[in-house]
Structure 1
């Protein structure tokens, strides 16, 4: 813990209290020292920050730390002897995670710290899991013959479609990572199979169809990614039950997996591959409709996805037209 307070008695009391909990304590007597201590490595797990620090007050210290990528995730509890609504609002505006009035109740402080530390630990796990996942996903995209931009393209289309279907922010986040990670299991498929332009042998097809299971096995140990597992596992299921790996049909297939399955087909068709060029939008849409008729996708979802793409194109065309008009208006007369 970092205790940043201009009062040595407060620092001493909190040092002894944290010591009784088995927590190591760093101390800072003013703003510049607080910034220096907060930026050292390893970084403190949390900061108790007095708003009335000398030289550089707690508001400035908090704003600086929360604006820095290296320290913005460290939980900060600000303390003050001025218990006004204005000071609390100002502290929260500069990024404070919690607010306590002096004299500090040590039991309350401990409970709030434990809560913030649990959130901090989860956020650190999430950042770590996302970093690992993104690295794997980019490796698979390159292995599968896609440009790095392909992942962003899949995620963008999936989230756009999810918004059109009314998914909330939490569902959209899961959908985004599901779209990015859906093919991560291909890391275990030999390049010779992935790069093959002719028909796969029965053995090669069986190997290829294991990639959703393998993807789940890779991501399952990363706790923050567990909500994404149904998308990874089921994005190759078919509406008529002929897909893999579990032969789910109709509404048994999770909605996120259905969305990613449709988006995956569209973006694959409209992306360059080593063995072929991207097909035009109209051809990709016709292919999606044909697959829906054959039972691969929900016809209703395919229709809604195509409408979503067309609405996005109209919006882009309108924006370009407005920008062009703005430029024309801005040109001075001869």
Structure 2
């Protein structure tokens, strides 16, 4: 299979400089994209996701610093290397560039050989990052494949992730925390890949031995994900999503303040989704019954009552109805599994 040529975005408002760069890069086997101002640079980068950006500092509209900040804030371009081309030699200018997320600098006039060397170096680093990201994507896919074994749990991980992000927004968590909730929601049950299907799909109650084995899935999931760069911040959610505030949860018996706010959010939406959807061992519960049981568990000291109240308020709102995620409910007296 022929490998795609690396694509480099040249963001330069000086046409003659831009043409020189374009010719140099094409002569060395690179594809090029061109932008003559900051806004065009952003639009082109987001649309075409280049492998590297050559970014001039002084451009019309958004300057190079502003463009770099925005590129590093977008998920699709945050790992795209940026080389800033500048006539400034002051330390302050470079510090501002580093704060904006710039990976390297070249002072004009630059030597072509040096520019090409730096481009090759940063592209090698990006290639390694892309390989890691591909491996991480496989893990996220595996998480969804595990629940696909059981038609009743299909979509659970994605719903938990979506619900957790919505609840996180309601609770005014930061954008970084919302991303952690999204990843933790998708990956929280990945450890179930080590649990036999005879237990996962069992229609009745689990024996003590089966339940003990089921309780290992948070630790297994944490072990699977602990070497993945993208999952590191979500590890507490994966390991602790079955902990309870009174210390009776598993695997570590955490209590009170030992359980972070993000884990408490996952606790609530995970249990909510488990109760309101059909499983191999139970029918789906209606919302009134679900919240009645969950508030009883709050009184036992299991979940965060303030977080549950905020979730109930949203679930009973028109905004939730518009999500169209609920499944028709049937009553059942069957006990739930973890």
For the pair shown, the structure with the greater C-alpha radius of gyration is: 1
Mapping 1:14-93, distance limit 5 Å:
27-29=25-27, 37-38=30-31, 66-68=46-48, 72-78=49-55, 85-86=59-60, 89=63, 92=67
User: How is 1:115-264 mapped onto 2 (pairs within 5 angstroms)?
Assistant: 120=126, 124=130, 127-146=133-152, 148-264=154-270
Post-superposition Cα deviations, 1:295-325, rounded to whole Å, max 9, x if no partner, equal 2212232223222323xx23467999xxxxx
- Structure 1 residues 156-210: Cα deviation after superposition (integer angstroms, max 9, x where no partner): 1111111111110001000111011101001100011112233322211111110
- Partner of residue 41, structure 1: none
Normalised by the length of structure 1, the TM-score is 0.68
1:241-285 residue CA offsets vs partner (Å, 9 max, x unmatched): 000000001111122211111111101112233454322222221
Ranges in structure 1 where 5+ consecutive residues have no aligned partner: 12-26, 39-46, 53-58, 321-334
Indicate which of 280, 283, 291 corresponds to 2:289.
283
Cα distance, 1:225 vs structure 2: 0.9
Say whether the 8 Å CA contact 1:129–1:225 is kept in structure 2. no
Contact between 1:234 and 1:254, CA under 8 Å: does it hold in 2?
no
User: Could you say what secondary structure the match of 1:154 adopts?
Assistant: helix
Matches of 1:141 and 1:152, distance apart in 2: 10
Bigger shift: residues 270-279 or 155-164:
270-279
Task: Identify the residue that residue 314 of structure 1 maps to in structure 2.
Answer: 318
- Decide whether aligned partners of structure 1 residues 227 and 156 sit closer, same or farther in structure 2, where only a CA change above 3 A counts: same
Paired residue total: 279
TM-score (norm 2): 0.67
Root mean square deviation of aligned Cα = 4.3
CA–CA distance in structure 1, aligned partners of residues 155 and 134 of structure 2: 22
Can you list the C-alpha shifts for 1:23-81, whole angstroms capped at 9, x where unaligned?
xxxx415xxx97xx43xxxxxxxx7x7879xxxxxx9999667523xxx15121146xx
Q: Distance in 2 between matches of 1:112 and 1:171?
A: 34
1:100 aligns with 2:85: yes
Q: Which runs of 5+ in 2 are unaligned?
A: 1-5, 11-17, 72-79, 87-107, 325-338
Q: Distance in 2 between matches of 1:176 and 1:60?
A: 31
